[in-house]
Amino acid sequence: MSAIIDFRTPLAGEASQPAADRLVAGDPRQTIANFFADSTGQFFAGRWSSSPGKWRIRYTENEFCCLSAGRVVLENEQGRRWEFSAGDGFVVPAGFEGTWEVVESCTKFYAIFEPRT
C-alpha cells in the first residue's frame, strides 16, 4: 500500500559539508533529510539546509528546488548568475556546472531525478 510522504513529519537529517576540493569560501554545514526514494533509485525528494559558504557544483541529476528560507546564488562557468530567496522555485538541469553560494542560511525542499547511465 502506498502512502503520502508528509514533509512535516520530523526526520533526523544527516550532517554533511562540501568536499574540500570543491570548497571556494566559508565553512558551510549542511543537513540532508531524504524523505523519499523510489524503487528504481532514480528519484529522491527531501529537505536540505546549509549555513553560508560557496562551493563548486557539477550536476549529473535534474533537481527541482524550492527555498523555504534564506538566500542563494548559483553561477555557471560563463559567469551568469541566478539569485533565489525564500519562496522561489527553480530547476538545476543535469550538466550544469558552476558554483552554489549560500548567502543567508537556507532550507530548500528538493526533488531529484538521476537518470541511469
Going along the chain, which residue ranges are E strands?
Answer: 14-16, 23-26, 30-37, 43-50, 53-58, 62-76, 81-85, 89-92, 97-113
Q: What is the pLDDT of residue 115?
A: 86
CATH topology assigned to domain 21-110:
Jelly Rolls (2.60.120)
Low-confidence residues of the chain, pLDDT below 50? none
pLDDT of residue 1: 57
pLDDT of residue 73: 98
> How is the chain split into domains, by residue range?
21-110
Q: What is the pLDDT of residue 11?
A: 87
Looking at residue 57, what is its pLDDT?
Answer: 98
